[in-house]
Amino acid sequence: MFAPAIAAEIGLGRLLTHSIPHPGLLATLCLAPAMIALFIFGMLVGATIWLLVMKRFVRRDVLLSFFLGGPSVPVFSNLCSKIFNWTYAED
């Protein structure tokens, strides 16, 4: 599930290393939130891909407890439930 996030971080890190070889404090403060946001977006993409692959092998009620059973964070819990319902929607 972390593969897209890690690949995006490595790609962005290499790009930034070539464009800004010695970043100052301002560049670091501006790009740190972008790196964190990119990692979170990459994890959501990875979770969606993982659900699409696991849909063929695991029943819905088994994955429901693992995917939606964690702590309730308002924004991410709603987003995770929408991704889960979209993945396991009846055709």
* Tens of pLDDT, residues 22-67: 888 988 898 889 899 999 889 889 888 888 888 888 888 888 777 7
SS3 70: coil
Tell whether pTM > 0.85: no
pLDDT the model gives residue 18:
92
Alpha helix segments (H runs only) across 1-91: 3-19, 25-54, 60-68, 74-87
When pLDDT is averaged across residues 12-21 and rounded to a whole number, the result is: 90
pLDDT score at 52: 87
Name residue 19's amino acid. Answer: S
Kindly state the DSSP code that residue 88 receives in the 8-state scheme: T
Does the structure show a pLDDT above 60 at 91?
Answer: no
Rounded CA-CA distance 89/91 in Å is: 6
